[in-house]
Structure 1
Amino acid sequence: MGIRRRPQGPCLLLLLACTWTLQAQDFAWPGTAKAAVSLAYDDALDSQLDNAVPALDRHGFKATFYLTPGRGNLPGRAQEWRAVAGHGHELGNHTLFHQCDGSRPGRDWVEAHRDLSTTTAAQMQDQVRAANAFLQVLDGRTERTFTAPCGDRGASDGEYVDGVRELFAGMKVSQGAHAARSMADFDRYAVPIEAPEGVTGAQLIARVEAAARSGTVAAFTFHGIGGDYMSVSAQAHEELLDYLDRHRDVYWTATFLDIARWVRDREASATP
């Protein structure tokens, strides 16, 4: 009787590639959906309350709003943000003071006393925990997700994000990175930050169509909607929502927390 040999070299690589492809193909989103869409909004901006929230509620979509308690006009509109959470939207953690690395090019706007490059990892981790406590007072919830301001992970003495990983179901990091090509490449603790600015509705729609072709996640992180900074026009935003509304069979539009939970549950069921 012949001996059955274990695949070697190129044969083994081909087998592994096929295994990963099968895993990605087997990943299922709820219902008939081919992709998930995360509509997220950073910095607790007035235009989000004034323009984005009413539009989302008209279409019945739930989104994630990443709040920074110690910065901006959040205290002045705290009751409105509490109502946003009451409508089923997620309030996510965006640190306490939105500290970015001021040593990077083009970061002259970073305030010296809120510069990530001069803040220790321990200080940042304390601030992330404090932001969580504030958000829990606001919405009464204990589970949420996190987005690193500017996608920056490194404090003055090293990386701070991994030290608070256990506090969250998922994280968005790495500004400007490309989305996962398949769910085999998807890491719910290292989701790229896609921050549209000045784009058209057609461009936003093209992004979700690409996610449907790959079976992955279109994870938008908007800022201003029809106002404020890094803005997308209210019209472009509405065109995206209208498209998603008309194609609910293709796209599962949910909070980033719900998407992270779904992926986490699939990870748990796939573990031997």
Structure 2
Amino acid sequence: MINSGLKLLAALCTLTMVSASSQKPAGDWNGKKCAVVLTYDDAIDIDLDNVIPALDSVGFKGTFYLIGSSPVISKRMPEWRKAAANGHELGNHGLFHPCDGSMPGRSFVSPDHDLSKYTVKRAVDEVRALNTMLKAIDGKTQRTYAYPCGDLKIGDEYFYDQLKNDFAGARGVTGGLPTATQVDLSNINAYSISDKPADYMIDLVKKAQQTNTLLVFLFHGIGGGHSINESREAHRQLLQYLKANQKDIWVAPMVDVAQHIATIQHVKSKQ
């Protein structure tokens, strides 16, 4: 009778331990179930007027991928410097945002900044020149890159291969929800958002929570300012959901998340 009682107690303890372990996040996202990164492209006035105040109101930090030639940088540099000092990332989106003009639907590409006409050296030099400029603004040496138009190659060559030591990672434009070990730091998945209802974005967050994965949002205009636009209200509802579920969701700039992923991948590779 005593032995039976001990066996039952041991079984209950085991069941409790298994149940408790199943409650823990499967991936290491700072002890949370998933990571969400909010990124905003092209260095536009809306970033400073609408987005940063919205993020600051809920205590989140975003990543702003700046085009070096954007007049919004030179005209409003103190505001960018303040945003960086407050924890937002100033990322690199190219000195002139060169895109491959040889691809379909690229009539907007300037002949002077057609990536298909670049040499790899020119592309690399321009990216590094913008890094110098961004460091002069924020004083930081670590940041991430975002491919203009999502273009990865010049001819058959991946130009970022020469830039891997310059950045913590590079954000692409292809949607996906990878685990920490699945993330390709040379082409980080991201969901491009334009005129989407809040429910669409929140459902993506819920999927990330369920699968213990990384979710990166790619925004341009928020409430105007860009031909690729998302409403301020839908954006606000997304932020409110993230705030209400902070216990499960790690919201951080891309550079912080990329560095975290690199550490995890390094540890896993040694096991």
TM-score, normalising length from structure 1? 0.86
- Given that 1:145 and 1:170 are in contact with CA atoms closer than 8 Å, whether structure 2 keeps it comes out as yes
For residue 136 of structure 2, what is the aligned residue in structure 1?
A: 137
Summarize deviations over 1:233-254 as a string: whole Å, max 9, x none: 0001100001100000111000
For residue 94 of structure 1, what is the aligned residue in structure 2?
A: 93
Partners of 1:93 and 1:182 in 2: how far apart?
A: 24
For residue 227 of structure 1, what is the aligned residue in structure 2?
A: 224
Amino acid at match of 1:88: G
Deviates more, 1:53-62 or 1:66-75: 66-75
Partners of 1:91 and 1:271 in 2: how far apart?
A: 30
For residue 164 of structure 1, what is the aligned residue in structure 2?
A: 163
Counterpart secondary structure, 1:192:
coil
1:189 Cα deviation after fit: 2.1
| 2:207 is the alignment partner of 1:207 | no
Percentage of identical aligned residues: 39
For residue 261 of structure 1, what is the aligned residue in structure 2?
A: 259
| 2:39 is the alignment partner of 1:40 | yes
Q: 1:237 aligns with which of 235, 238, 262?
A: 235
Summarize deviations over 1:83-128 as a string: whole Å, max 9, x none: 1101110101111100011111111111110111111111000001
Partners of 1:171 and 1:59 in 2: how far apart?
A: 26
For residue 3 of structure 2, what is the aligned residue in structure 1?
A: none
For residue 22 of structure 1, what is the aligned residue in structure 2?
A: none
For residue 8 of structure 1, what is the aligned residue in structure 2?
A: none
Partners of 2:175 and 2:138 in 1: how far apart?
A: 32
- Given that 2:178 and 2:213 are in contact with CA atoms closer than 8 Å, whether structure 1 keeps it comes out as yes
For residue 190 of structure 2, what is the aligned residue in structure 1?
A: 193
1:166 Cα deviation after fit: 1.1
Partners of 2:245 and 2:53 in 1: how far apart?
A: 20
1:161 Cα deviation after fit: 1.4
Partners of 2:33 and 2:262 in 1: how far apart?
A: 18
TM-score, normalising length from structure 2? 0.87
CA RMSD, Structure 1 to Structure 2 (Å): 1.4
For residue 28 of structure 1, what is the aligned residue in structure 2?
A: 28
For residue 78 of structure 2, what is the aligned residue in structure 1?
A: 79
Structure 1 residue runs of 4 or more that deviate by more than 6 Å after TM superposition: none
1:156 Cα deviation after fit: 4.7
For residue 115 of structure 1, what is the aligned residue in structure 2?
A: 114
Partners of 2:178 and 2:170 in 1: how far apart?
A: 18
For residue 217 of structure 1, what is the aligned residue in structure 2?
A: 214
- Given that 2:26 and 2:212 are in contact with CA atoms closer than 8 Å, whether structure 1 keeps it comes out as no
User: What runs of 5+ residues in structure 2 fail to find an aligned partner?
Assistant: 1-24
Aligned residues: 245
1:182 Cα deviation after fit: 3.4
Greater Cα radius of gyration, structure 1 or 2: 2
Partners of 1:182 and 1:108 in 2: how far apart?
A: 36
- Given that 1:121 and 1:157 are in contact with CA atoms closer than 8 Å, whether structure 2 keeps it comes out as no
Partners of 1:67 and 1:238 in 2: how far apart?
A: 22
- Given that 1:169 and 1:257 are in contact with CA atoms closer than 8 Å, whether structure 2 keeps it comes out as yes
